[in-house]
Structure 1
C-alpha cells in the first residue's frame, strides 16, 4: 500500500470516535492525515463530543477530548489530497453553512476521489448537492434529508455497524461501524 494524503474535516463537537479512531487507523497504516477546521489555525484544537447509545430514544452526549488541528483550512488545495474523511457529531450541522467546505466536498465527489462520511457527516453531501442518485447511509435521523436530496438509503434496514459503498463514497451510520467503514475506505484508497 502506498502512502496517501488524506484530509480530515472537523469542527467543534465533532464525534470523538468518528474523528480520533479514523485518524489513528489511517496513520497506523502509513497515510499522512491533515486535520482541518474553518477558523481554527494550526496548533489549535476542536472539542469533541462522545455520543453513546444507552437505550434512550436518541444518543446521549458527553464532553470528549481536544482534537488537534494540523493544517490551516484557508490553505487547503483539494487537488493535493487523495481522500476526504467527514466524521459526524454536531459539527456538520454548521459546517454545511460554509461554502468553502462545500466546494471541498464537491471536489472529492466530482473527481471520484475516495470520500468517507459517517453519522451526521452526510449533511455536507446534501448541502453540497452531490448525493442525488447515490446509495448511502447516515445516522437514521438524516434519512429524510438525504432522500429529499435524491439519495438512496441502502440498505433500508441499516444497523449502526453497517457500511454502504457506492463507487468512491463510503458511508456509515455511526461510530460502531468504524471497523467496516475504515476497512472499505482503505480498500478504495488502495485502488
Structure 2
C-alpha cells in the first residue's frame, strides 16, 4: 500500500542520505515530498558528499543540487504517514526552526514512523523525542542522545536500529537495512 512520506532537508544535507531514500521510497510506490525551511517547491538545496577515507572523521565534498518538490510553508503534516530526516550539516541549523520541531513532534505523538540517519538525530533531540529511547546516529552525535535522556547504540555503519516508531542508523552505508526497516514500519 502506497504511503505519503515527508523528508525535511536543508542546504548541505548529505547527498546520499537525501537522494537514496527519496529515490528508493518512490521506487517502492510511495509519495515522497521533500521540504526545506524558507524554501518553496522548485527551489534547490545544495548537498554535500561525506566519505570515509581513513581519516579521524568523514571528509566532505560538494554534492548535487536537489530540487525540492514541496513548499515548507504549505505543508500539513497531518496528511503524511511518515517522516524521514537525513543527515549532513543541515540538521544542525534546521533544528533551530520551531516549525520543524512541531512537525517532528506531530509524527512522534501520532506514533507515525520516523527515520533518521547520521546527524538527522540532532533534529529529533532538539524536538525532545529521544528521552527514554534507544537509537543510533553518527557516533559524534552520541553525547547529544545520551545527555538528553536517550540511549545511543552502536550498531556499526551498515545496520539500523528500531525502537517503536523510530528507525535510525549511523550513516549512508546502512541504507539497505535502514530503508528496509523504515518500509516495514510503514
- With normalisation by structure 1, the TM-score equals 0.96
Are positions 1:95 and 2:94 aligned together? yes
Partner residue in 1 for 2:37: 38
Shift of 1:158: 2.3
SS of the aligned residue for 1:109 comes to helix
Partner residue in 2 for 1:53: 52
Alignment length, in residue pairs? 186
Shift of 1:140: 0.2
SS of the aligned residue for 2:143 comes to helix
Shift of 1:40: 1.1
Are positions 1:140 and 2:139 aligned together? yes
- With normalisation by structure 2, the TM-score equals 0.99
Shift of 1:162: 1.5
Q: Find the aligned partners of 1:54 and 1:127 in 2 and give their Cα distance.
A: 30
Shift of 1:68: 1.0
Question: Which ranges of structure 1 fall in alignment gaps of 5 or more residues?
Answer: none
Off by >3 Å, runs of 4+ in structure 1: none
Following superposition of structure 1 onto structure 2, how do residues 109-188 of structure 1 map, counting pairs within 5 Å?
A: 109-154=108-153, 157-188=154-185
SS of the aligned residue for 1:51 comes to strand
Q: Find the aligned partners of 1:22 and 1:43 in 2 and give their Cα distance.
A: 19
Root-mean-square deviation (CA), in Å? 0.6
